[in-house]
Amino acid sequence: NAGVMQNPRHLVRRRGQEARLRCSPVKGHSHVYWYRQLPEEGLKFMVYLQKENIIDESGMPKERFSAEFPKEGPSILRIQQVVRGDSAAYFCASSPPTTGANVLTFGAGSRLTVL
Amino acid sequence: GENVEQHPSTLSVQEGDSAVIKCTYSDSASNYFPWYKQELGKRPQLIIDIRSNVGEKKDQRIAVTLNKTAKHFSLHITETQPEDSAVYFCAASIKAAGNKLTFGGGTRVLVKP
């Protein structure tokens, strides 16, 4: 069991470019969550997805950010026209199909630096 | 939505002493309360969790207590060691919201040898 795999681990982008972060959940997990962690801060919820469905995107900025979890392949967090304030660690977590008090397993994170 | 407050934000203890971190939550429907440890540059890792039908849980040097009436829960680390130095996050989730966790702001714990 490889756990939650995130790539790239480090990504450098210039202002205005696009960033794509990928997350492969634990095998058998169908729930994916994205969290953002600014330097020296806590984990802020962004979005919760199941296969082909966005369940809760209440933490996603209204513009430039989008997420998907297709039927096949990893979940992708996409940030368009990045700005310096987007520099952060983006963590993906996954949990099993059943809801209710199940443990979230986190990936190692993708660290985005915007120059 | 759920709001989780965590105190203190930093905690310095002498090796061998105990450390206590406290969290409060706002939504009485929350039913699951995990604690995560995050070392510098690493992923958050679950160290202990408690569900709403339990008041206390212990795992070696770590214990968590839950007071549903007051809507607060605490992490207790006894006989602290230098390797306990890290940032600790409490979290809460509501069954109806799937497994979405709302995190506290974190506590940076430093154990001085």
- Model pLDDT for residues B17-76, shown as the tens digit of each residue: 999 999 999 999 898 999 999 999 899 999 999 988 888 999 999 999 999 999 999 999
Neighbours of B14 (CB within 10 A): 9
DSSP code for B59 = E
Q: Which residues of A touch B88 (CB under 8 A)?
A: none
Q: For an interface test with A, which of B100, B101, B102, B107 has the most A Cβ atoms less than 10 Å from its Cβ?
A: B100
Reported as a single tens digit per residue, the pLDDT across A47-94 is: 999 999 999 999 999 899 999 999 999 999 999 999 999 999 999 999
Name the token pair of A54. Answer: 């966005």
Residues of B in contact with A91 (CB under 8 A): 43-44
- Nearest-neighbour CA in chain B from A13: distance (Å): 20
Look at residue A1 and tell me whether its pLDDT is greater than 70: no
Residues in A closer than 8 angstroms to B42, CB to CB, are 108
Beta bridge partners of B50: B33
For residue A59, give the 3-state DSSP assignment.
Answer: coil
pLDDT(B96) > 90: no
Q: pLDDT tens digits for A17-48?
A: 999 999 999 998 889 999 999 988 889 999 99
pLDDT confidence of residue A28:
86
Q: Is pLDDT at A101 greater than 70 in this prediction? A: no
Determine whether the interchain pair B44/A100 forms a contact, defined as Cβ–Cβ distance below 8 Å.
no
Residues 12-31 on A with a CB inside 8 Å of B are: 31
